[in-house]
Amino acid sequence: MHLKQELFNGELILDSLEQNIFVKDVNSVYIFANNTYAKLLGKKPSQIVGKNDLDLFPKEIAQKYRDDDTIVIQSAQVIDIEEDIIVGNKKRVIRTIKKPIYSNGEIVAVVGIFWDITNEKLEEKKYEKLQSGLMQAQSLANIGHWELDLVTNSLYWSDEVYRIFGLKPQEFGATYEAFLKHIHPDDIDLVNNSYMNSLEARIGYHVEHRIVRENGEIGYVEETCEHEFDADGNPVRSIGTVHDITKQKVVQNELLLASTVFEKMNDGVLITDSQQRILAINKAFNKISGYTLEDVKGKRPAMLSSGWHDNIFYKSVWDAIISKGQWRGEIIDRKKDGELYTAELSIIALYNDDGILTNYISITNDISAKKQQEKLIHNLAYYDYLTDLPNRVLFEERFVSRLSAAKRSGKKMAILFIDMDNFKNINDTLGHLVGDKFLIEVAKSIKALLREQDTFSRLGGDEFTILIEDVDSIIDIVPVVKRIVNTFHTPVEIEDKKLYSGVSMGISVFPDDGETYEALIKAADTAMYHVKESGKNGYQFFAQSMNDKITERVFLENNLRNAISKDEFFLVYQPKVNLETRSVYGMEALIRWNHGESGLIRPDKFIHVSEETGQILEIGLWVAKQAFIDTKILHDEGNMLTVSINVSSKQLEDESFVDDICTLVQDTGIEISYVELEITESHIMNNVDKALAILNRLHKKGFKLSIDDFGTGYSSLSYLKKLPVQTIKIDRSFVLDIDKDEDDRVIVATVIAMARSLGKDVIAEGSETKEHIDTLKLLHCHKIQGYYFSKPIKIDAFREFIRDFKGEGKSA
Ligand code: C2E
Ligand code: CA
Ligand code: CA
């Protein structure tokens, strides 16, 4: 009764509530139902009271409600469940709470309350969605928010704030003091003051500070905060955001660092875009090149090129950049003012994360200074400070490095060792300064006489050395040697003073005088001392044989020049005998030189020299003229002999030779068919086509032609056939042993047979003995020239010889 009274006191209120409320006794019989619940079941409250669920609901549902009641009653539990039910065809969410009702400590009834929370649920879901969206946004933006309730001093952090501090959400007891704990010690005052000041000033604040994450990492955050105040103006709440700016900060710091480095670097840096247009340069680059950013911006680095490198070089650079991403090397560029500089350059291609080329960076290290330093050191080690010539060390190195090449090519090398004759005197009387200047002038004068490839060095003092390479014949270096000696026949002028000093030069030759540098330098030095001893001012070879050769050569050259005008040449004639007719049918004119002092000089000695100097042209014509004159007289006397003259290759190469000799034929009145020209086989074989052309011309003019020294020049039958020659003259070397040497005999026999088959005549020269003659006869060679019959003799003697000739040789 008591209970009921209590309940009914509140009945009115309960009836007005939206919630469905009921009370059941411990036997699950309804003792109360409010209006809402009754309405829901389509009844009046009075129709429910006294009934149980089995009376009101289908059996299954009723049983379930009964079970719930039992739980509440027996285990004194509260049931609070949400469940979905279908009303009509709509889904609704229902929340049900069942609680025990106690009276004097005993459970006497169950109160149930349930209501439709469908709309609430929807709102909740919306909010949740919003909430999670916000969180996501915060997380994406690295922004968290916090609220500080200043009344309760409770702090709320959004999940993102936790994340920023490196904490697990909600793990951390959020208070303002706890927050301060996570601020970088150095920034605590800043943050604290910002907050306190802003609170006092009643305006928000904005501060950037460092934090220490739970794992000790340092981060950067940007905080903003606003305050809320109550009606009395007391602060009640602070609301703030925390923005994690660590990443930006790092990038910013890196950029700052990079730009500081960029500007402070000693190396010049140039950055272009992917199209190689210049974007930026640093101070160092400006210093190195002289260009400012305005000068180069938007232009291409090619504008810096010096013109020293060819396209192949630049192509190799770009090939490397494209294939390897970078290139490193030395390059010569040009400064703004035109000056060149040597730089150690690195060019790097920069790609972004997607692998797309974005920039090129070139780092220039001006090494001109370093180069100069290196050069200086190199110069000190290898060059003479006074004359800038290579020094002793470099000279030796050069020699040694060229040695193997010389050995391979088989060519000679010459070392010229020069010592100034009067240097000591100049130095002692005029002082070292003049002495130095003198040496510089000497170096200049000598250098001017040398070729680029000759190595000219100063060994020290007044000693100079020259290395001449690629020497075919020692004779070849005589001209330059003489030029050097002759240069110092005129004085060297220093400060209006005329300083006379000849040179003494010693020459050694590789490999003739030695195979090593030491041996050759010593030999050249020795030769130089011989010059000094024999009166200075001149040159000498180390090997006496060379000196002789050179002396003779120089003598011949000098004396040949005047031999014709001095009438020193004369001719001798050697008869040509026909064994079959036992008669002299011709003669060979051979030149002799009667040099006043040196006596008779044989042609073997001077023809070669005259060929080299070109004097042979004049000499050859002199011989022809003299021979024609002598022969013409013989002809006039009734001795119709053929005269043979030797024609040098140099003469045949001379354009005017054919005309000149024809003129002589006319002038002397000799019958041309009695003139034979002997031309050596080797000359013809040197250039067959050219020789053939000239021989044809001579042949057409009416000259007889003969191949001299046959067997030494590798003739082939096919050429022989084409040549307009009448006679083949077998070389003396085959005749020499023809009676003893079977091989020689076979060769001569072959030549004779071959000549026959071609319709050519054969003559054997150098026949000295009866045995020679007999053998040649057996081989059917009937024309003979040689000492056996006569040595070459003067024309008067020759005239007597033919008059007395009986067809027999001397031993006959
Ligand atoms: P070559 O044309 O082969 O002349 C023949 C040489 O053999 C001559 O020497 C002659 O004296 C020598 N001789 C002849 N019979 C004998 C012999 O039985 N035994 C030996 N041992 N020698 C013999 P030579 O006069 O000293 O002439 C030498 C070379 O000089 C000639 O060789 C010729 O190539 C050249 N030469 C001579 N005179 C002239 C000339 O007027 N013009 C040109 N271009 N060359 C000439
Ligand atoms: Ca001859
Ligand atoms: Ca000959």
Stronger pLDDT, 528 or 168, i.e. the higher one? 528
From 569, 587, 590, 601, mutation site for ligand 1 pocket: most ligand atoms within 8 A of C-beta: 590
Task: Scan for tokens 């290139």, then name that residue.
Answer: 327
Residue 689 CA, ligand 2 centroid: distance in Å:
22
Range with the largest mean pLDDT of 67-76, 296-305, 382-391, 436-445: 436-445
Q: Report pLDDT for 136.
A: 65
Query: Residue 363 and residue 265: Cα distance in Å, rounded?
Result: 10
207-225 burial, b at 16+ Cβ within 10 Å, e below that, comes to bebbbbbeeeeebbbbbeb
- For 205-214, the pLDDT digits (tens) are 888 899 888 8
- For 273-305, the pLDDT digits (tens) are 888 888 888 888 888 888 998 988 888 888 778
CB of 712 closer than 6 A to ligand 1? no
Reported for 399-402, long-range contacts at CB under 8 A and 24+ positions apart, including other chains, are 399/455, 399/467, 399/517, 399/520, 400/517, 402/467, 402/469
**pLDDT above 50 for 361:** yes
Helices (H) and strands (E) in the chain, counts: 32, 31
CB of 766 closer than 6 A to ligand 1? yes
Residue 725 CA, ligand 2 centroid: distance in Å:
14
Task: Scan for tokens 């009145």, then name that residue.
Answer: 669
Q: Atom 19, ligand 1: which residue's CA is nearest?
A: 766
Q: What is the mean pLDDT of residues 456-472?
A: 94
Query: Residue 419 and residue 442: Cα distance in Å, rounded?
Result: 11
- Supply 587's token pair: 């003669």
Query: Residue 515 and residue 470: Cα distance in Å, rounded?
Result: 15
Q: Atom 20, ligand 1: which residue's CA is nearest?
A: 766
From first CA to last CA, the distance across the chain in angstroms is: 193
CB of 787 closer than 6 A to ligand 1? yes
Residue 505 CA: distances (Å) to CA of 97, 481, 534: 131, 8, 12
CB atoms within 10 A of CB 587: 30
**pLDDT above 70 for 412:** yes
Q: Atom 43, ligand 1: which residue's CA is nearest?
A: 646
Q: Please, which pLDDT band fits residue 812 given cuts at 50, 70 and 90? A: very low
Task: Please list the alpha-helical segments (H only) found in 76-204.
Answer: 118-141, 159-165, 176-181, 188-201
Stronger pLDDT, 741 or 364, i.e. the higher one? 741
Q: Atom 4, ligand 1: which residue's CA is nearest?
A: 590
Containing 715, the helix (H) or strand (E) segment is: none
Give the residue from 536, 534, 498, 535 showing the smallest Cα distance to 421: 536
**pLDDT above 60 for 512:** yes
Give the residue from 739, 803, 809 showing the smallest Cα distance to 772: 739
CB of 786 closer than 6 A to ligand 1? yes
Identify the structural domains of the chain with CATH numbers, from first to last.
2-116 (3.30.450.20), 123-249 (3.30.450.20), 264-372 (3.30.450.20), 385-542 (3.30.70.270), 560-804 (3.20.20.450)
**pLDDT above 60 for 811:** no
- Give me the sign of the Cα torsion angle 476, 478, 481, 483: negative
Range with the largest mean pLDDT of 121-125, 230-234, 255-259, 505-509: 505-509
Query: Residue 270 and residue 360: Cα distance in Å, rounded?
Result: 8
pTM of the complete model beyond 0.75: no
Provide, rounded to the nearest whole percent, the portion of the chain with pLDDT above 70: 94
Q: What is the mean pLDDT of residues 399-411?
A: 90
Residue 589 CA, ligand 1 centroid: distance in Å:
9
Residue 399 CA, ligand 1 centroid: distance in Å:
43
- For 103-143, the pLDDT digits (tens) are 888 888 998 988 888 888 888 877 777 666 666 666 666 78
Q: Annotate 456-469 with three-state secondary structure.
A: EEEEECCEEEEEEE
- Kindly report the backbone phi and psi dihedral angles of residue 706, in degrees, each rounded to the nearest multiple of 5, phi listed first: -140, 145
Query: Residue 746 and residue 752: Cα distance in Å, rounded?
Result: 10
- Compute the C-alpha angle 218/221/226, nearest 5°: 145
Average model confidence (pLDDT) for the chain?
A: 87
- Give me the sign of the Cα torsion angle 483, 489, 490, 491: positive
Kindly give, in sequence order, each residue whose CB lies less than 8 Å from that of residue 63, ignoring residues fewer than 6 positions away: none
437-468 burial, b at 16+ Cβ within 10 Å, e below that, comes to bbbbebbeebeebbeeebbbbbbeebbbbbbb
Q: Report pLDDT for 559.
A: 92
CB of 126 closer than 6 A to ligand 1? no
Residue 596 CA, ligand 2 centroid: distance in Å:
26
755 near 762, Cβ under 8 Å?
A: yes
**Closest listed ligand to the CA of 730:** 3
Query: Residue 810 and residue 47: Cα distance in Å, rounded?
Result: 185
Q: Tell me the residues surrounding ligand 3 (ion) with CB < 5 Å.
A: 708-709
Q: Please, which pLDDT band fits residue 705 given cuts at 50, 70 and 90? A: very high
Q: Report pLDDT for 783.
A: 97
- For 68-83, the pLDDT digits (tens) are 999 998 888 888 888 8
Q: Atom 38, ligand 1: which residue's CA is nearest?
A: 590
Provide, rounded to the nearest whole percent, the portion of the chain with pLDDT above 90: 39
Nearest atom, ligand 1, residue 729 CA: 3
- Supply 552's token pair: 């003779």
Q: What is the mean pLDDT of residues 608-635?
A: 95
Nearest atom, ligand 1, residue 651 CA: 44
Stronger pLDDT, 351 or 579, i.e. the higher one? 579
Residue 115 CA, ligand 2 centroid: distance in Å:
148
Task: Please list the alpha-helical segments (H only) found in 245-292.
Answer: 246-264, 283-289
31 near 52, Cβ under 8 Å?
A: no
Query: Residue 47 and residue 56: Cα distance in Å, rounded?
Result: 10
Q: Report pLDDT for 632.
A: 97
Q: Of 200-214, 368-382, 542-556, 713-727, give the lowest mean pLDDT range.
A: 368-382
Q: What is the mean pLDDT of residues 568-579?
A: 97
- For 219-237, the pLDDT digits (tens) are 888 888 888 888 888 888 8
Give the residue from 583, 683, 674 showing the smallest Cα distance to 624: 674
**pLDDT above 80 for 718:** no
Q: What is the mean pLDDT of residues 498-506?
A: 93
Q: Report pLDDT for 61.
A: 86
> Which residues are bridge partners to 220 per DSSP?
210
CB of 590 closer than 6 A to ligand 1? yes
Q: Strands 90-103, 143-149: parallel, antiparallel or unpaired by DSSP?
A: unpaired
**pLDDT above 50 for 381:** yes
- For 77-100, the pLDDT digits (tens) are 888 888 887 776 778 888 889 999
Q: Report pLDDT for 564.
A: 93
Q: Please, which pLDDT band fits residue 639 given cuts at 50, 70 and 90? A: very high
CB of 572 closer than 6 A to ligand 1? no
Query: Residue 316 and residue 307: Cα distance in Å, rounded?
Result: 16
Q: Report pLDDT for 545.
A: 74
Nearest atom, ligand 1, residue 603 CA: 30
Query: Residue 467 and residue 465: Cα distance in Å, rounded?
Result: 7
CB atoms within 10 A of CB 617: 19
**pLDDT above 80 for 529:** yes
Stronger pLDDT, 426 or 344, i.e. the higher one? 426
3-state DSSP percent of the chain in helix, strand and coil, to 5: 45, 30, 25
* Single-letter code of the amino acid located at 436: D
Q: Strands 538-541, 503-510: parallel, antiparallel or unpaired by DSSP?
A: parallel
Q: Please, which pLDDT band fits residue 506 given cuts at 50, 70 and 90? A: very high
Q: Report pLDDT for 169.
A: 67
CB of 617 closer than 6 A to ligand 1? no
Q: Report pLDDT for 4.
A: 54
344 near 365, Cβ under 8 Å?
A: yes
